Structure 1
Amino acid sequence: MPLLAACGGADKGSREGTTSGKGAKKILPAYVASNVVSPDFPSKDGSAMGFTAKLDVATLKTSVPKKLGSGGKVSIMSPFWGSPPKGDNAYYTSMNALIGADVQWRNQDGNTYDQKLGAVLASSDVPDVVVVPGWNMMGKIPSAIISKFADLGPYLSGDKVKEYPNLAAIPSDAWQRSIFGGKLMGLPMPASYVQNIVPLYRKDLFDKQGWEVPRSADEFMALCKDITDPRAKRWACGDMKWTAFNTFGVISGGEKALAWTVVDGKLIHRMETPEYLEALEWTRKLFAAGYVHPDFKLGKSQATDPAPKFAAGEFLIWNNDISNWYGQQASQATQNPDFKVWGMDIWNHDGGDPTLWAANPAGIFAFVNRKASESVIRDALAVANVTAAPYGTKEWMMTNYGVEGTHYTLKDGVPVKNDKGNNEVINAYVMVASPAATIAHPDLPDYTKGMVEWQQRMGSFTKKSSFWGLQITEPSRYTNLSNDFEQLEDDIARGHKKIADMQQAISEWKKKGGDQLRDWYQKILDDNGPAAS
């Protein structure tokens, strides 16, 4: 099953190829922005939208005025992290009453989900709805998606989606990612396409010492020298490899297809660019100079969580997902009132504007069994229409927090889960479909503003590579071709291997199939043109 493209699929009868341009437009749902609630910070340049207002249960808006479910049973299989609650718990029964359907969860351990997914899709007992994260779309799973799941186009393409207003408000690029084999098959979880790795730093300590945020690779190195004092148990940073890739403008490595793009008329892989080696060399210099906290020298095998040492000021700059910008601040708010974490703007290594590469606009999907009756399909869409409700609505509150008084209380406009809420209202319904990417932290409104504005500034420097937004699965013979490169990157950064070892590995990669893989991707481009305009 070499190719599933979200712009498409297919010559008649074929599961390969892409549907782009007019073909995709016929498949995609109409986009109708939600006007139920207005964000304080609208989406711009690929950013999430942001909400800072405190919540009042009495004034929450309604985005689903009537139940769309018919009362039937819908079985859903989804990854679950933690201990699933009992099936008749107050959260599930309240959600089902709101939807008008009897959702019966078949939650599976998220850590071993790929194994369970493969077994279920190979069997005849496929649940009505199956959630498939992008990171599990390996091996035979992509071809199983096309053979086992329903085409939702007859229910959602064009104006048909208007029957489900919250689904209509999902951005078109997330729906584009949901086209498999030429058909609209997935219910997406939209995401911001802006780079999600932020160089977080201890702003409180920077302000106290008079350190300034760097604007080039040389300035960063000089700053690290100034900060680092091992005797005082203080180092400048953690492993900065991800930020190095961004500051040197290296093409995205987030998904295999994103690593390819056309440069000067030629299709190249990120590893073939001089910037890739330059970023690794810069990261190596940080380690070699002793600026990186010793814990990070252990690599992924490190046993300890770096967060306490960041909070203790043992290192002051930390690559992290943007969600941890808020998370680190919130976790320190009570015991460390002077603590302030903020995000550095990504610089270009030479001090100019950065060149950043877009991530994909959706990465988790729910699929409906192709054997499901129309009433079951419509009940599944009724579930998704509730779970995709925007922030500030009754449906969003129920999906994310459960029932007031039973699962959470509002404290100064901030919902706080109790033990029952923490046990029951976790990673179930939110996996079916989601609203457009949203950042909402009424307890720390300045952080909501800071995170959204960071995404907007970085979004203005973000480019879309040639296969951005497409749902592509490489031929199985190339599946393991790039497996060892991340470990080699880390070994070079830590001084265990040399840049020459990487150059040798890239040369071998080309011979072992990299050049053939390039030809395979080139044919997709020749046949369809680039995905992103």
Structure 2
Amino acid sequence: MKRRSLIAAAGAVAAAPALASCSSGGSKTGNVGNAGKDLAPWPTYVPFDGPQPDAPGDDSVGIQPLYLNYPAQLAQAVAEAPGDGSEVTALVVSYEAPPKPLAENSFWQEIDKALNIKLNVIVVPDPEYAQKMTTLMASGGDLPDIVMFTNLNLPRRAEFIQRGCADISDLVGGDAVKQYPGIANIPTYAWQGMGRIGGRIYGVPLERPMPANSMFVNRTRLDEVKAPLDWNHDQYLSAMRDLSTGRRWGTGWYKTLFGGLSGITYHALSAGAPNGWAVQGGAFVHTSTTPQFEQALTVMRELTSAATHYPDSLTASSTDMQNNFYNGTVASLPNGFGALALSNLLKIGDRFQLGLARPYSPQATTWRSTGTFGFATFKKAAPERLKMLLRVVNHLSSPFGTREYELINYGIEGRHFTKENGVVTTTDLYKSENSSILPIRYIGTAPTVLHLPGFAGVARAAHDWEKAVMPKSLANPQTGLQSATQSSKGAQLDQILGDGIAAITFGRKPVSSWKETVAQWKAAGGDQLAEELAKEYQTAS
């Protein structure tokens, strides 16, 4: 793998640096907000006319189409290879072990051939991502051709992108996107979730389903302790206690970037808390200031008091905790809905049946995601170079039901998978050569559908879960909005809340101390952030 010096000195950079100039050569940052700007039009949505699902989706509430069988006939998504034979370097996050070198990796070789480029991937492991991206943004050095950003609230990210990355508004805005059918097939909600910066479009979103961070469960063990599918608060706590025996635990959490705990989301939505923010009379009200959020903290404290949680939750990385879930050490784990993927199901194998936990109260407000996992930005370059890079992303975004999707997601037929009677069966080689280990799925990706080869029961259960919970789901009104305070102080504000969550969860402070945490958050910039978001919200479109 190619690991450039631009990310080698990550430990030397403070958490919120004053950014140096980068590839644009500029030193001044413009206003990243969209209020009062001439807004670039969102790309025209041109959906792919693909195979008919076994059960329909509903875009209005975030229910995905279900495919139990693989399509018998595949379409051709692109007429010719998108690249020009040149080297393309992409920096992406990874949640897996490093890929095998190109010379030993038949999947990588075939991807290079299909794209007609020499693809170099700078793989940044998830635990190192925030620190190394901060280094990259402060380095002032040359950028990779493609830089992938997750949805993490990195300090001054918008200013960096505005200054150092290519404005692609004229290449993809409105009907211009029709030159790239795979990108045009990305739903408008994903573009809105990515958002504009200063009224302009700087990236291509990596679409994800509308369900947000969800509680994945070991359904086999829950059935053993007779936990119902639809449960209440007491039944939930009872099940977690029953599952916590010996060296196995009911609940697994991991520390989020700024000190919080991943489990809080499930309990906040179960209590009926707003999804991030609520708009009341034109004003923005943060979920942390609501009594429902305080109720969620009480549940977190109850779980630790009952010793149902994995004991190293504050030190384990998200990758480590996912492995603990896949091997059965913990019976429940919050994760992004994109974790419902074939590569992860193969890690579970036949150990247990994967499921999704339904909220445990009737007032639940299931939270919708931003509709993205992140987005791909581009180094400033000549128009022809940018168009070539967009063709590469377009190819990698080819939809389900196409030959291109098949290669990207399953590899080479006969080597990485076989097909018979509408079922794709992956080989042992697929476990070490796929689009997660060589993380091209974080450069460009097709809109997701519910199709899990060999795990039709999991796919059907997930569809049933979506039908049960998504009609009452809430979007976050902050999605796609820009704020100077969010960009400059967002990490600091998150840290205040995260520290408060952890202190209460592990008994260092009482639940009543949360009001002090909220007051500190407000004074540090939370109130100012709310005002800026309200102003942006009035002009967003």
Question: Structure 2 length normalisation: TM-score?
Answer: 0.78
Deviations along 1:399-423, whole A, 9 cap, x unmatched?
A: 2233234444457732424448715
**1:340-384, Cα deviation, whole Å (9 max, x unpaired):** 443332242xxx3522232211132111222x2222112111111
Report the alpha carbon displacement of residue 280 of structure 1 after superposing the two structures with TM.
1.2
Which position in structure 1 is the counterpart of 2:266?
A: 243
Q: Which residue of 2 aligns with 1:342?
A: 355
Partners of 2:99 and 2:66 in 1: how far apart?
31
Q: How far apart, CA to CA, are the structure 2 residues paired with 1:27 and 1:470? A: 15
Shift of 1:70: 4.3
Write the distance in 2 (CA, Å) between the matches of 1:447 and 1:168: 30
1:247 offset after TM fit, Å? 0.8
Work out which of the residue numbers 79, 82, 85 in structure 2 matches 1:65: 79
Query: How far 1:306 moved relative to its partner?
Result: 8.2
Correspondence 1:308-347 to 2 at 5 A: 319-322=334-337, 330-331=346-347, 333-334=349-350, 336=351, 339-347=352-360
Alignment CA distance shift 1:203-1:49 (3 Å): same
Kindly indicate whether the alpha-carbon contact (under 8 Å) linking 2:398 and 2:446 is maintained by their aligned counterparts in 1. Answer: yes
Question: What do you get for the CA RMSD once the two structures are aligned?
Answer: 3.7
Q: What's 2:480 paired with? A: 469
Letter in 1 for 2:92: S
CA distance in 2 between counterparts of 1:229 and 1:518 reads 41
Query: Separation in 2 of the partners of 1:127 and 1:310?
Result: 34
What is the alpha-carbon distance in structure 1 between the residues aligned to residue 265 and residue 67 of structure 2?
28
Change (3 A) 1:354 1:377: same
Please give the alpha-carbon distance, in whole angstroms, between the structure 2 residues aligned to 1:340 and 1:129: 37
**Which structure would you say has the larger Rg?**
1
Letter in 2 for 1:384: V
Aligned AA for 1:486? Answer: G
1:354 aligned partner: 364
Per-residue CA deviation, residues 163-206 of structure 1 (Å, 9 max, x unaligned), is 22111110011122253222122011001122331352535663
Once the two structures are TM-superposed, the CA of residue 161 in structure 1 deviates from its matched residue by: 1.5
Q: How does 1:500-511 map to 2 (within 5 A)?
A: 500-511=512-523
Residues in 1 aligned to 2:345 and 2:102: alpha-carbon distance in whole angstroms: 35
Q: 1:40 — aligned with what? A: 54
Which amino acid in the other structure matches residue 395 of structure 1?
A: E
After superposition, give the CA deviation of every residue in 1:66-122 in whole Å (9 maximum; x if it has no partner): 3344444433333345334435654344223323x3243141433434454455554
Q: Is the 8 A contact 1:63 1:394 kept in 2?
A: yes
Aligned: 1:453 with 2:469: no
Pick one of 195, 198, 203 that aligns with 1:186: 203
* Per-residue deviation, 1:249: 1.5
TM-score by length of 1: 0.80
Q: Deviations over 1:506-526 (max 9, x none)?
A: 22332333333333333334x
Deviations 1:259-291 (CA, angstroms, capped at 9, x unpaired) = 333235542221211111111113323443x3x
Q: Are the counterparts in 2 of residues 297 and 494 from structure 1 also a CA contact under 8 Å?
A: no
Runs of 5+ consecutive residues of structure 2 not aligned to the other structure? 1-16, 19-28, 254-262
Secondary structure at the counterpart of residue 441 of structure 1: coil
> Does the aligned pair in 1 maintain the 2:221–2:331 contact within 8 Å?
no
CA–CA distance in structure 2, aligned partners of residues 229 and 71 of structure 1: 55
Decide whether aligned partners of structure 1 residues 394 and 17 sit closer, same or farther in structure 2, where only a CA change above 3 A counts. same
Q: Counterpart amino acid of 1:414?
A: V
**Aligned-pair CA distance for 1:493:** 2.6
**Residue deviations 1:270-325, cap 9 Å, x none?**
1211111111113323443x3x43x534432369858768976x876555554666
Q: Distance in 1 between matches of 2:392 and 2:311?
A: 46
Q: Provide Cα deviations, 1:459-515, integer angstroms capped at 9, x if missing partner.
A: 211122322233556142454133043243233233332012222222233233333
Residues paired across the two proteins, number:
493
SS of the residue corresponding to residue 66 of structure 2 reads strand
User: Could you say what secondary structure the match of 2:504 adopts?
Assistant: helix
Q: 1:399 to 1:315 in 2, by over 3 A?
A: closer
Aligned counterparts, 1:5-84, within 5 A = 15-18=31-34, 24=39, 27-44=41-58, 45-54=61-70, 59-80=73-94, 81-84=96-99
Structure 1 stretches lacking a partner, 5+ long: 3-12, 253-258
Letter in 2 for 1:491: A
2:97 maps to a residue whose letter is: G
Q: Residue type matched to 2:52 in 1?
A: S
Alpha-carbon distance in 2 for matches of 1:511, 1:174: 33
Rounded to whole Å, the distance in 1 between the matches of 2:518 and 2:487 is: 20
Tell me, yes or no, if the aligned pair for 1:325 and 1:342 is still in contact at 8 Å. Answer: no
Aligned-partner residue type, residue 510 of structure 1: K
State the shift of 1:55 in Å.
6.2
Q: What is the correspondence of 1:96-245 to structure 2 with a 5 Å cutoff?
A: 96-99=112-115, 101-111=116-126, 112-121=128-137, 122-135=139-152, 138-176=154-192, 177-198=194-215, 200-203=217-220, 206=223, 211-221=227-237, 227=242, 241-245=264-268
Q: Aligned pair 1:363/2:373, yes or no?
A: yes
What amino acid is aligned across from residue 388 of structure 1 in structure 2? S
Query: For the Cα contact (< 8 Å) 1:36–1:63, is it kept in 2?
Result: no
Secondary structure at 1:481 match in 2: helix
Task: Tell me which amino acid in the other structure corresponds to 1:346.
Answer: P
More strand per residue: 1
1:48 and 1:439 in contact (8 A); partners too: yes
Give 1:273's match in structure 2, choosing from 286, 290, 298.
290
1:175 aligned partner, one-letter code: W
Contact 2:34 2:197 in 1 (8 A): no
> Which residue identity is paired with 2:274?
I
Alignment match, 2:494: 482
Question: Aligned AA for 1:382?
Answer: R
